[in-house]
Structure 1
């Protein structure tokens, strides 16, 4: 039997500095969520980042601006 294998080895030196320190600007977010029930129906509305703040999370990832979500859940067997 003949088997072909492919492999890779990675050496990592934990004593070396490979990154540049990153400073992040401070930010404040405001979210609001409303919930209400009518019998077995649960309604909700959510607004995230009300002031539409531009900010970056760790890893320099831009986060979404203001966004909305609405929904209805139906209880079963309640």
Structure 2
């Protein structure tokens, strides 16, 4: 599975909202999105776009991230 990394945390939730329709248009399924545990803005954006919380996990730096599945 290919990973889409969104950068610049201050606008990450805006980029996710813009990226979801693009990924859906290309037939990417499933869409798995992660965000930092403390990134409330991104989590709300993911949930508003149909995201389903899966679990917490550690990223490559050992920081806790939330993993979401967004149905297509």
Greater share of helix: 2
- Of structures 1 and 2, the one with the larger relative CO (CA 8 A, separation 6+) is 2
Is the TM value for this pair above 0.5?
no
| Normalised TM-score (structure 1) | 0.23
| Normalised TM-score (structure 2) | 0.24
